[in-house]
Structure formats: structure tokens, C-alpha cells
Amino acid sequence: MVWTWAIAFYLIFCPLVILISIAGTVAYRRNRLARSVKEPPFDFQKTNEIFTDPTTGIKQQVWFNPNTGERYYQNIEENRTNRTNRK
């Protein structure tokens, strides 16, 4: 009788933990992508580098800050409609 309860608990608890983990991951990723800043910071310059992000599959334009060496990645669709190269 004890083993029956243990097996039932295991068969219910494990899939529940997996489903909650998947739902949490999906919600986190959606919020992370939605919160991304649309415009690069002021001192950044547009580069010729364009690549596809391997985790999301989104094409991105690279912006570079020559003062700090920092890089900023912006979705290519946002690049075309929102701004041009500024120095």
C-alpha cells in the first residue's frame, strides 16, 4: 500500500514539476524579449555585422561603442524602420 502511494505521488509530482518549469521558461523568455530596448545608446555606431541569433533565430544588427568597446545587438526589423547610422 505504501509503494502504491509513492508511485502515484511520483507519477503526478514529476510531470507537474516539468510542466511548471517549461511554463516558467517560456514566460521568462517572452518577457525578456519584450523588455529589450528598441534604440541603441547614444555613443554607439552601426557596424556592417549582421547575424542570426542562434537561440532565438532573429536577425540582428551589431552596434559598437568605440569609447568602451561595448557591443549592442538590435533586431534588424527595428533597424530598418527606426534609425540610421549616427556618429
- pLDDT score recorded for residue 81: 42
d(CA 29, CA 21) in angstroms, rounded, equals 12
pLDDT of res. 78:
46
**83 shares its domain with 54:** yes
Instruction: Give 23-74 pLDDT, tens digit per residue.
Output: 999 888 877 766 666 778 888 999 999 999 888 888 999 999 999 999 988 8
Rounded (10°) CA dihedral 12, 14, 20, 25: -160
27 plus 52 within the same structural domain: no
Q: For position 80, what pLDDT does the model report?
A: 44
| CA dist., res. 53 & res. 66, Å (int) | 23
Query: In this structure, are 54 and 30 located in the same domain?
Result: no
Domain that holds residue 83: 40-87
For cell 544588427, the residue is: 61
pTM here is 0.46
More confident residue, 2 or 75: 75
